Structure 1
Amino acid sequence: MCLIWRSSGQSGVSSGRTPFSPRPIEMDLLNPSRPSLWLSDVPCLLASGSAPLSPPSAMPFRTSTTALLGLFLVPFLVLASWTAAAQDQSSGKLHLIVLHTNDMHGQVVPLPATWVKDQDPPPTSGGLNRVGAYIKRTRVAAKEEGAEILVVDGGDWYQGTPEGGLDKGLGILKAMLLMGYDLVTVGNHEFDHGVSHFESLLKEAPLPALLANARTKTGGTLPGVGEYSILQRGGLSICVVGMCSVQTPEMSHPSTRDLEWEEPAATLTRIKKELAERTVHVDWWLPVTHCGVYEDKQLAKAHPDLDLIVGGHTHTVLHRGQREGRTLIVQAGSKARSVGRVDLWFDMETKSLLRGEARLVNLYGDPAEGEGVPALAKACVELLRRSALAMDQVVGRLDGSLDRSKDAYSTSASGNLITDLMRARTGAQVAIHNRGGIRAGLEPGEVTRRDLFRILPFDNALVTLTMTGRQLSDLLKRSLEGRGRSGLEFSGIVAQVKRNGRHPQVVAFLVDGKKLLPEQDYKVTTNSFLASGGDAYIEFQQARDRVTDPILQRTLLENALAKLWKQGQGLTPSIENRFVVLP
């Protein structure tokens, strides 16, 4: 088997193992255990020109009437699929299974399957251990039926959980080495601690990483990262290209600005041209991106010959994918809740795609004895043990309630505290945070790091930018008048309003006691989510002079609590109302 690995402007051809060979750790291929069958595993037909089926139920067979019917239907569907695959092999057809995940964000433990409505509490789904076990089972089943398999991930591997934060991501990367990935695309959050830290992670945990559209100033790829990989699957030459959002420098560590970023469509065009000039044969192209659904659609428009794009970044749950022309775009949500699966059948005479089926596989049960990956299970247990030591540590004391507010005429103690700390950190005149990003309140008492994760679970950094008074006024009015997707909390500004039913009528905004001037510039700090236009606050995208501080908002809270804790004091949040309701 001949594979090509492209990195730092060099290519090498070798036979047998390559840096991208899968790592089947402690996999007993002789005694596989069959996975439990779920109604959500029934495929939805996605062949071009066919009508998509309705989304399947996510319920296990034992819990719904529809599932009971599934007990009779699913075995026949699965048997028919296997029989058809065997016939395909003997008739010059190839069955390729693409398994995909994205935006796992270090999610070791399973999460509640909130889409299951008739169980209270709902079952749990996913988690790294279950994902790894499903990959193993699918590899075994594919080998038995004579199918080929390709396992990829769409980026954002570790950032976002206490476990992912251990050793700044190293523990999660080591766990991913045990999960059986063939290739993984680099996401923007891989750079949250800087480009050099990302490079050090790959030295210690050499994942088969791809990133084609970001180069160093000298024109090479990052150390340990390839632009693409060409793999052989059953006689089909597949070129997998990894690409990340060109907005990464605005969302991640400032050191990413030292890289040269290229639009994904241009990158794919360049690589196609390079391989053609070198007479390297490719039968099928597969971009694995961390760009979001909209950008994936733009890529499909620019390259209408693509059959499939595996995506990430926007955490979009695409049960059956979305089509842009002939191209099927798939994404598996986030947090390792599900595994995406695309079954593809190729005519091996023409090397063309005949049909495809896409679905999301929900992982409701822990692996049975013998069907999991023991080394992965052990790694997950260790990560949880270590995170408990850190997360259960008391970091300070709260002497007043840290409440949240949905009142259109008042700010909250939590919003006041968070925005005050943001403004103090950057020296901005104004700080703004979205209410939807504050996920929990907190009562007075000792505070642990896990409590802080509950309040601010999103790994948002700080972004400071320059806005005109008009832009700032338009943004705040959108919030106060209910035209934004989330209300706003703020520091350094006072909103003078009159009561006008459900939403206030704005009279004026004051900064430093003076009315906001439309043409004057103001220094504003917000979080990285809002800075990218999140919650429909597009004015942030129109701002200029962006400077990103990678410190997490959660860390700001911890530092403030810890400073007072060392002095034997607790933190008392401000309950000042930053709305002034005029008669």
Structure 2
Amino acid sequence: MVKSRSTSTLVALAAALALALSLARAADAESGPKNEPVPEGRIAEVQILGFNDFHGWLQSPRSVDGRPVGGAEYLAAYLDREERENPKGTIRIHAGDSVGGSPLISSYFHDEPAIYAMNLMGLDLGTLGNHEFDEGKTEMFRLLNGGQRTDGDQFKTGPDGEPVNTSDPDFPGARFPYIAANTVWAGTEDPILPPYEVIKRRGVKVGFIGVVTPETEQIVIPDAVAPFDFLDISDTVNRYVPKLRKRGVEAIVVLAHSGGFQSGQTATGEVVTETAQMSDAVDAVIAGHSHTFMDTRVDGKLLVQAYSFGTAIEDVDLRIDRRTKDVVGAEAEVITTYRDAIAPDPEVAALVAEYEREIAPVANRVVGVAAEDITRATTPAGESALGDLIADAQRAYAGADFAFMNPGGIRADIAAGEVTFGELFAVQPFDNQVAKMELTGDQIYALLEQQFQEGRTRILQVSGLEFSYDASRPAGQRITSVTLPDGTPIDRSATYTVAANSFIATGGDGFTVFKEGRDQQTLGSDLEALEAYIDGLPQPFEAPDPFADPRITREG
């Protein structure tokens, strides 16, 4: 026999169902019917204007379609022009690498000019890229917080060859906040900077989370990043999304110094993978690092990147429901900063002109005359004329048996004709030092094996030796021979003196064998080594020819 429910039980159930239905209707009213447009009166239009990978390019770096682009005064002018479309609803940001790997006009002054320029551009927010870490913790925080450099590296060689302090005693640092969620103090989960920032425009809040590629640990001098750990990007974003939502923030944008590539609407790369793994609460990701164009969607999230060096800006438009605080529409445009289409910003133009005057005597000093173009173009084995020249310069500077140079540290070619100091600086802009140490023949074999790492191959440029390799062989067996230039095999039990720049000498790019070297000493800058070597060559000078007389042979 089935027992019937009591009247009181039925009344309680009915009341519970009515309450649930009421709450559901309220929730529907709050969020708005699905697929039904939100009334325009409830929409707040918020515009995000930004750029990535500025790298201190105060001057125009190149042309697009035969038209010059970029330059800080033009970058500023484009930001101003676009903001006039939404003067009360615009947020200005950058997505990392605003400094580091910079041209002489900024680097000579410790990238203070780049910070001054961005201050004049009225940025609201920035995040860290890998290059912000190039010169270590103290210098990174000085650029953010201000003050004259006092760590001993504040001196540069002046036009007369004498050292001069090129850091401004009144340098104020960045006048806008930086965020960094996945950069934490080593051994902790404590971010080194605020992980996120909330900015209010047109009565609505937009939350920003800042992240940088964990690859930073591999591509920056190890000593410079030793105080930090770099956590997974999407895991970190997903950790902070609930914190923003608890603060009533539903419009969430990630500033991700992490790269990718786009062909048509198909995008690949680290930032694409990480964006797909981010919470659905994230509305847009503004990327950097790969210096590429991106304007696509990944798992419903807008993903955009505006090339590099100030040659373009990203304009992200968010439509935010004032009632629910959700983003109900998002679109982006990447705008090229053509110089002939706009008047430059006068304040920033005056800043650039001042630094141009100061750097001209240094940059225009002629070092030598190149008989022909000397380029980074490689043979099938991965050897270049410029790489050979730089390795020769460092071996001569250190008085070493051998020298090794990482190809990623060579950033420009040398054109035929007069070669100025400014041109040489563009070739090696990182202010690395030349290190000298002792390695055994066995260690040199092990070092060369480290050229072949999981997912990537980096062929070192060499001087004083020759080697052959077969990349198809098993790991640890890919170097098939290492010889002196006359063909004599190196002695695996003997000790040799070796020169390398400080980036790889401290284990950068995964070349950790260098850290085993004995009697390590630092001698001077890699740029100084190259300048001295070129100055000592018969003029006009030539570089080794890796095609006619190769030092590296690929087998298999």
Instruction: Please give the TM-score of this superposition, normalised by the length of structure 2.
Output: 0.67
Using the TM superposition, give the Cα deviation of residue 422 of structure 1 relative to its aligned residue in structure 2, in angstroms: 4.6
The residue number in structure 1 matching 2:81 is 137
Matches within 5 A, 1:185-334: 185-202=127-144, 203=146, 204-206=172-174, 207-216=176-185, 221-222=191-192, 225-253=193-221, 254-274=223-243, 279-293=246-260, 294-305=269-280, 306-318=282-294, 320-321=295-296, 323-334=297-308
Deviations 1:120-146 (A, max 9, x none): xx1111221111112122222213xxx
Using the TM superposition, give the Cα deviation of residue 240 of structure 1 relative to its aligned residue in structure 2, in angstroms: 0.7
For the pair 1:450 / 2:422, whether they are aligned, the reply is yes
The residue number in structure 2 matching 1:107 is 57
Using the TM superposition, give the Cα deviation of residue 173 of structure 1 relative to its aligned residue in structure 2, in angstroms: 0.2
Rg comparison, structure with higher value: 2
Matches within 5 A, 1:327-366: 327-365=301-339
Using the TM superposition, give the Cα deviation of residue 161 of structure 1 relative to its aligned residue in structure 2, in angstroms: 0.9
SS in 2 for 1:340: strand
User: 2:242 and 2:408 mapped to 1: Cα distance?
Assistant: 48
Instruction: Please give the TM-score of this superposition, normalised by the length of structure 1.
Output: 0.65
Aligned partner letter, 1:452: L
Aligned partner letter, 1:388: A
Distance change >3 Å, CA 485–CA 386, structure 1 → 2 = farther
The residue number in structure 2 matching 1:155 is 96
The residue number in structure 2 matching 1:388 is 360
| RMSD, aligned CA | 4.8
Higher mean displacement: 555-564 or 153-162? 555-564
The residue number in structure 2 matching 1:558 is 528
Higher mean displacement: 420-429 or 256-265? 420-429
Aligned partner letter, 1:246: P
Check whether the contact 1:492–1:511 (CA below 8 A) recurs between aligned residues: no
Using the TM superposition, give the Cα deviation of residue 515 of structure 1 relative to its aligned residue in structure 2, in angstroms: 6.7
User: 2:197 and 2:419 mapped to 1: Cα distance?
Assistant: 47
User: 1:295 and 1:407 mapped to 2: Cα distance?
Assistant: 29
Using the TM superposition, give the Cα deviation of residue 408 of structure 1 relative to its aligned residue in structure 2, in angstroms: 5.5
User: 2:240 and 2:538 mapped to 1: Cα distance?
Assistant: 59
SS in 2 for 1:164: helix
The residue number in structure 2 matching 1:123 is 67
Deviations 1:220-258 (A, max 9, x none): 554xx4321111122322111111122223322423211
The residue number in structure 1 matching 2:413 is 440
Distance change >3 Å, CA 285–CA 544, structure 1 → 2 = farther
Deviations 1:360-391 (A, max 9, x none): 1112235766xx54322211211222222321
The residue number in structure 1 matching 2:124 is 182
SS in 1 for 2:235: helix
User: 2:451 and 2:229 mapped to 1: Cα distance?
Assistant: 32
Deviations 1:102-158 (A, max 9, x none): 0011111224333x2xxxxx1111221111112122222213xxx621211011113
User: 2:360 and 2:229 mapped to 1: Cα distance?
Assistant: 39
Using the TM superposition, give the Cα deviation of residue 315 of structure 1 relative to its aligned residue in structure 2, in angstroms: 0.8
User: 1:221 and 1:547 mapped to 2: Cα distance?
Assistant: 32
Distance change >3 Å, CA 345–CA 449, structure 1 → 2 = same
Using the TM superposition, give the Cα deviation of residue 216 of structure 1 relative to its aligned residue in structure 2, in angstroms: 3.1
Which among 433, 440, 462 is matched to residue 490 of structure 1?
Answer: 462
SS in 2 for 1:331: strand
Distance change >3 Å, CA 329–CA 527, structure 1 → 2 = farther
Using the TM superposition, give the Cα deviation of residue 187 of structure 1 relative to its aligned residue in structure 2, in angstroms: 1.3
The residue number in structure 1 matching 2:47 is 97
Matches within 5 A, 1:387-426: 387-394=359-366, 396-397=367-368, 403-404=374-375, 414-422=386-394
Deviations 1:14-36 (A, max 9, x none): xxxxxxxxxxxxxxxxxxxxxxx
User: 1:238 and 1:462 mapped to 2: Cα distance?
Assistant: 46
Check whether the contact 2:105–2:356 (CA below 8 A) recurs between aligned residues: yes
SS in 2 for 1:381: helix
Aligned partner letter, 2:94: D
Distance change >3 Å, CA 467–CA 356, structure 1 → 2 = farther
Identity %: 22
Using the TM superposition, give the Cα deviation of residue 345 of structure 1 relative to its aligned residue in structure 2, in angstroms: 1.8
User: 1:127 and 1:297 mapped to 2: Cα distance?
Assistant: 29
The residue number in structure 1 matching 2:6 is none
User: 1:303 and 1:255 mapped to 2: Cα distance?
Assistant: 29
Aligned partner letter, 1:309: V
User: 1:489 and 1:94 mapped to 2: Cα distance?
Assistant: 55
Check whether the contact 1:92–1:348 (CA below 8 A) recurs between aligned residues: yes
